[in-house]
Chain A
Amino acid sequence: MKDMLPYRYHPFNEIVELEGGLFQVNMGPQHPISGQGRFIVITDGEIVYKIEMDIGYSHRGIEKILENRSFIQGIIPLERMVMLDTSNIVMGYVMAVEKLYGVEPPPRAQYIRTIIMEFNRIISHLYALGLFAESAGWNPAIFLWTTADREPVLDILEMITGARWSYSFFIPGGVRADLPNGVKERILTTLDYLENRVRVYEDAWIYNETFRMRTEGVGVLPRSKAIEWGAAGPNLRVSGVPYDTRKNEPYAAYGELDFKIVTHTAGDSYRRGWARVEEIKVSIDIIRQAIENMPEGRIRVALPPKPVEEEVLTRVESARGEINFYVYTEGRDRPYRVKISPASFRNFYVIEMLPTIQTIRFADVPPIIYSFDPWFLDADR
């Protein structure tokens, strides 16, 4: 009976001996670090022979759900894909719908969207930093600090949108509401606070000697392989590919704002964590500029009755990297097919392929995986 079970059903602590003295260590789904998935690690002692990401534990069929809902109804289930990063995810779909209907949202809406998306990126990066620190064997100090620092941002998001998470704020044609009174001052003080906190993270975490020992030169992703395997987001950028959708294919208000892309050539775990800290700084800068240059005007335009385009592929830089939506419609108010390619889905493949070019030790598996900022819900859809 035992032999007949496929390998997924081995209890997580069971010793599975493979040929050649290799061991299969199942990290997850009940493991302190795994999240809603499983890393199947085939090890030869402490040396990792193979990593396999077993995803799908939280597959909700969002693509199918979207096919059966009108465009505007689809926003709500879509937000459940990555709760940390809802606005960036929804932006791709909303943008696709706008392109299908051939409307351009008014500039004020674009700026409001930019502010919310950058705040989302900040909270998502903060969470990623905490998890990365924890996976490298930190006591949860950094994790709890970052969690605490997300609170002021969530308060601002609540002020603007009415909800801390999943605000369904972006709709095709614009945003649901204008900025409330007094939010600008609140945003500016919060940004000052965050800037100070980022400096604290640099001192306590990025420049920490033990952390550098653990992550420098570990999990190196060279430039050619990053492109070939399709890495996304900061993971791609620190491997020496200066691709950022916000810069290369500007959407929302990014085309009118001046910001830099965080790049590096090392491509190791350390720089992937470092890039996230730097990107928080860039996001703070972007929000300041957006607040300053905020145009007046309408926040929403009406959609025409029928879509004008048939299909569209939109790319958006979510916190974890590029997410793209291929949307095909038959001229009705709902999509015929939506294909979502989330960043984590692509990054998981990169993680799987890493042991083929470099020796990885068992203790390095969690920091490497979490340096890519994986999110199982993102990959599962």
Chain B
Amino acid sequence: MLEWINEFISRNLVTLIKILGFPGLIFILVFIIFAVWYQRKYLARLMLRMGPVHAGKVLGWLQLIADALKLLAKEIIVPRESMGKIFLLSAITLPVVPAAAIALIPFAKNYMILSVKGFTLPLFLAIMTLYPILIVLMGWSANNKFTIIGAFRSIYLDIAGEIPMILSAIGVMLWAGSYDLQEIIEAQKSIWFIVPQFLGFIVFLISYLAMIEKVPFDIPEAESELVFGYKTEYTGAVFLDTMLGDYVNLLAWALLMNTLYFGGYLGPSITGDPIIDGSIWTLVKLIIIITLTFTIIISYARLRIDQAVRLGWNYLIPLGVLNIVLTVFIKYILLGG
């Protein structure tokens, strides 16, 4: 038995590190702890506050862990009239979907969890479409008016956001001439795609904000209207899980934005080791993207659901199509492929 384990570990050491360590489970958890802490501190500074300062002395870094422990210690309340199993299962599954999509993202050259080649960008988008379904299950099963309104708003928003996002991804695929995430990154060696695909990037950025459901598109949560949207009824550890799902979702989309438009792991060499270099550049760009996201979060009011959907269908989708047409025209006719 022990030998078998030894053999398994030695044969699959790299895979295990990838799955459990970086860029797998531990990385995601640590990064989310960092992201939540960073969001709190950064937004607090913009709001003329201090943010957490007490737990952990230095910059309140322990506050988040304290909060998580507090939530874990709380009672998990399942509303009597809810569909208990679906109510709990959908929330527990929530972080898994974006985490599965992250497995496709290359953090350095040839360094991703799932070393598949080929249709990885369509696969990524396909996996991420499962996320709204879980949200509807969460909202529906809680059997509460605020949650169900939140869930339906989420569906409207995801439809309005996902199609433009896929259209802008098509633009990137056409420009790079590949479906593969790693090849897309490699194609950005001369110039990052944010420059030739700028129109597509604008479409992507707005639909990205819709997909992560933050202000100005936090319509499904809409604290001032719906209390907490589809998450209203969750308590304790399950609530923590839904929060986790939120941030893994943010991480997945931010990684995709980095991959498509900011050259992924590309960057000048620092240590000489391509895997460490690539990881460092990925993380640096990721933090910049997240800072941008948080800055947008603080600067805008929430749109109404009809305005958000109209924005998606009336402006983003035509712009996305226009971007595809321009890409084809420039890339394959002017530049000749």
- Chain A interface residues toward B at CB < 8 A: 13, 15, 23, 25, 27, 31-33, 46, 133-141, 144-145, 148, 204, 208-211, 213-214, 361-366
User: When the two chains form the complex, which single residue of A25, A137, A208 contacts B224, counting CB atoms closer than 8 Å?
Assistant: A137
**Contacts of B67 on A, CB cut-off 8 Å?**
none
B115 at the interface (CB under 8 A from A): no
- Does B145 interact with chain A (Cβ within 8 Å)? yes
Given A141-B298, A363-B219, A363-B304, 19 new contacts (CB under 8 A): A13-B144, A13-B146, A13-B233, A27-B225, A31-B227, A33-B225, A46-B305, A137-B223, A141-B46, A141-B47, A145-B47, A208-B299, A210-B302, A211-B301, A214-B301, A362-B149, A365-B225, A366-B224, A366-B225
A137 touches B145 (CB 8 A): no
The CA of A204 and the CA of B301, in the complex, are separated in Å by 11
B residues near A366, Cβ cutoff 8 Å: 224-225
A91 CB to closest chain B CB (Å) equals 32
A137 touches B215 (CB 8 A): yes
Chain B residues in the interface with A (C-beta under 8 A): 43, 46-49, 143-146, 149, 215-216, 218-219, 222-225, 227, 232-233, 297-307
Count contacts between A and B, CB distance < 8 Å. 91
Please state if A210 and B301 are interface contacts (CB–CB under 8 Å).
Answer: yes
**Nearest B residue (CB) for A30:** B227
Contact B304 A214 (CB under 8 A): yes
CB A127 to nearest CB in B, in angstroms, measures 15
Interface pair B47/A140, CB less than 8 Å apart: yes
Q: In the docked arrangement, what's the CA distance between A193 and B220, Å?
A: 38
Closest B residue to A136 by CB, please name it: B301
Contact indicator A137/B301 (Cβ below 8 Å) = yes
Min C-beta distance of B80 to chain A, whole Å: 12
Alpha-carbon gap, A161 to B94, bound state (A): 56
Closest to B297 in A: A139
A214 to B, closest residue via Cβ: B301
- Contact check, A144 vs B144: say whether CB atoms are below 8 A apart: no
- B298 contacts which chain A residues (CB < 8 A)? 139, 141
Q: Which residues of A contact B48 (CB under 8 A)?
A: 144-145, 148
A36 CA to B121 CA, complexed, in Å: 50
Do residues B47 and A208 form an inter-chain contact, with CB atoms below 8 A?
no
Shortest distance in angstroms between A39's beta carbon and chain B's nearest beta carbon? 11
**Leading 3 A-B pairs by shortest Cβ distance:** A137-B302, A33-B224, A144-B47
Q: Are A135 and B46 in contact (CB under 8 A)?
A: no
Measured CB to CB, the nearest residue on chain A to B306 is: A361
User: Given the complex of chains A and B, what is the CA–CA distance between A164 and B193 in angstroms?
Assistant: 56
- CA separation between A138 and B299, bound complex, in Å? 8
Beta-carbon contact of B223 and A214 below 8 Å: no
Give chain B nearest CB distance to A277 CB in angstroms. Answer: 15
A22 to chain B, nearest CB (A): 12
Query: Do residues A214 and B145 form an inter-chain contact, with CB atoms below 8 A?
Result: no
19 A-B interface contacts by CB (under 8 A): A13-B144, A13-B233, A15-B144, A33-B224, A136-B301, A141-B43, A141-B298, A144-B47, A145-B47, A204-B299, A208-B300, A210-B300, A211-B300, A213-B307, A361-B304, A361-B306, A363-B304, A363-B305, A364-B304
Contact (Cβ within 8 A) A138 B304: no
Question: A148-B48, A363-B222 in contact; A133/B301 too (CB < 8 A)?
Answer: yes
With contacts A13-B146, A15-B144 taken as known, whether A138 is within 8 angstroms of B307 at the C-beta atoms is no
Nearest CB in chain B: distance from A365 CB, A: 7
Bound-complex Cα distance A210 to B306 (A): 13
- The answer on a CB contact under 8 Å between B302 and A214 is yes
CB neighbours of B225 from chain A (8 A): 27, 33, 362-363, 365-366
Q: A305 CB to closest chain B CB, in angstroms? A: 53
CA gap between A240 and B145 in the complex, in Å: 39
Residues B145 and A23 in contact, CB atoms below 8 Å apart: yes
